[in-house]
Structure 1
Amino acid sequence: MNQIIRILTLFAVCVMSVPAHSEAEFPDGLPDRIVGDIGAAVYTSNLHIGTEGTQSLVLPYAFFDYQRFFVRIDEVGIKTFKMGYGYFEIVGKVSLDSYKIKSPYNNNSINNSDPIPLGFGTLQETPVGSIFLNAYHDFGKSKGALYELLYFAEIETVKKIIIYPQLGIERQSSQFANYYYGLSSGQASATGYSAYTAPATNNLLAGMLIEVPIVDDWYLNVYAKRKWMGAGINSSPVMNKSFQDNIFAAVAYRFK
């Protein structure tokens, strides 16, 4: 919760610096009401760091637009000027993952604070699929950078069930990767691991979102993603597998 508050505070400061535009400059794509999904979800992740294992959270779920403001599951942002098939956006990312490193050698652990990524990006809703491109600076303790390039296709199947396959690549700067996956000599001594300095790393990912109509304007959304970590992170002694998994299942009402 503290991390969400910090992101929203930093986000508000940036929003106040965005020049105002008349509605005539943005005639399309800015609804004057909430349009999208709001509900609740169970979020589950396993980063395969140390022995922490799987973490599950029950939290609100949202994927909607309201005027310039938007929420996209783990992103909040403001649309500024029109750009291509979308807008240039100020974006904050909310991390639902736990970066706690629990040692298998003793009872000691390292509690790394959550990242606070805030930056710029765009969602391009093209005729052949949606492209997300985001660049963040971590205002948390890593002070590093995080970059994302994601692609979602859309496939409608039987009974109005829609499948959204996802492909993407993520780049973590050396500061970002080293804070969450590296170990200083002091941390290594306390946990029994070997000291390690993580370099900048590229991570590949693939996922799928399935949208299932329930009744009237209620929907079930199920999402699964696997991220294959690059060599710079996989070489860290705290990693026990070469990939990380995220899953959620949400029941949401669709505002139209």
Structure 2
Amino acid sequence: MNPYIKNSIQIIVSTLAFCSITAQAESQFSLGGGVISTSSPYAGTDNKTLVLPMITYEGERLSLRGLSLDYKLLEDDGVNWSLVLEPGDNFDTSDSDLAAIKALNDRKLSLYAGTQVSYSAGFGKITASATHDVIGHGDGAKFKTNYSYPIKLSKQLMLVPSVGVELNSSDISNYYYGVAQGESSTYAPYKLSSTVNYNAGLFLMYYINKNWNANAMFNYKQLDSDIEDSPIIDTDYSTTFMMSVNYRF
């Protein structure tokens, strides 16, 4: 699966995680489809527009949101503690138009396992997670925190702004954005330390009726300056725009 799909799914997963709480669905399954336009920071890559299915399952303890699993260990008075399994990054170098990028090694898919804690109250929702790559591609740790606040504009319309911070260990940063010794005859070796990325997003949900809802989402990620300085990166940000329709059983 190419990096555009993976990056888009990651954002959709986090969005659906919040919407599963605010939607107050009476059943556990939701099916739908979405159109996504997303950019990649790697040099020589273009924006992609994709059509993707969306499947969610909300059980008493186990939840499936896209390609992410969440097993709830504790739920008490707005506090949730869970174990999580979620996909990470990847980059197929053949997606670039530049020969120098195509000659690099692919950055393969990572899979992160770890724990997540969230707290929901009148001021919004705060989420923090700590995960580690269990496949051994990035072979490092990732720490994320996010704040979102639902604003009910009308009986049928809800707006959810959010901001977040993502800390990647040096192993992850180097694997995805660095250039290893001897990897390229064009680019000099480039090594990174740990990196910090910032996210800001808006999610809009419209309840058509009891079962159907339509959604729109925009997400902006500001990349760490060390990532921007990498010779294989040509922008300091990435964006994703999504529109979807979902049916809850």
TM-score by length of 2: 0.80
Matched residues in 2 for 1:63 and 1:134: separation?
20
Is 1:155 the counterpart of 2:151? The answer is yes
Identity of paired residues, percent? Answer: 23
TM-score by length of 1: 0.78
Deviations 1:70-100 (A, max 9, x none): 13455321001235523210001134x6523
Cα–Cα, structure 1 residues 73 and 155, in superposed 2: closer, same or farther, change >3 Å? farther
User: 131, 138, 141: which one pairs with 1:142?
Assistant: 138
Cα–Cα, structure 1 residues 52 and 177, in superposed 2: closer, same or farther, change >3 Å? same
Matched residues in 2 for 1:162 and 1:36: separation?
21
User: 55, 62, 77: which one pairs with 1:69?
Assistant: 62
Q: Is the 8 A contact 2:104 2:184 kept in 1?
A: no
Is 1:206 the counterpart of 2:217? The answer is no
User: Which residue identity does 1:160 align to in structure 2?
Assistant: Q
Partner in structure 2 of residue 48 of structure 1 = 41
Pick the structure with greater CA Rg. Answer: 1
User: Which residue identity does 1:246 align to in structure 2?
Assistant: T
Q: Is the 8 A contact 2:215 2:243 kept in 1?
A: yes
Gaps of 5+ in 1: 2-30
SS in 2 for 1:180: helix
Partner in structure 1 of residue 91 of structure 2 = 99
Matched residues in 2 for 1:120 and 1:84: separation?
19
Partner in structure 1 of residue 173 of structure 2 = 177
Give 1:218 deviation, angstroms.
0.7
Cα–Cα, structure 1 residues 44 and 209, in superposed 2: closer, same or farther, change >3 Å? same
Q: Say what the alpha-carbon RMSD is for the aligned residues.
A: 2.6
Cα–Cα, structure 1 residues 53 and 90, in superposed 2: closer, same or farther, change >3 Å? same
Cα–Cα, structure 1 residues 36 and 211, in superposed 2: closer, same or farther, change >3 Å? farther
Cα–Cα, structure 1 residues 135 and 83, in superposed 2: closer, same or farther, change >3 Å? farther
Task: Tell me which stretches of 4 or more aligned residues in structure 1 moved more than 4 Å.
Answer: none
Is 1:88 the counterpart of 2:81? The answer is yes
Gaps of 5+ in 2: 2-23
Is 1:241 the counterpart of 2:235? The answer is yes
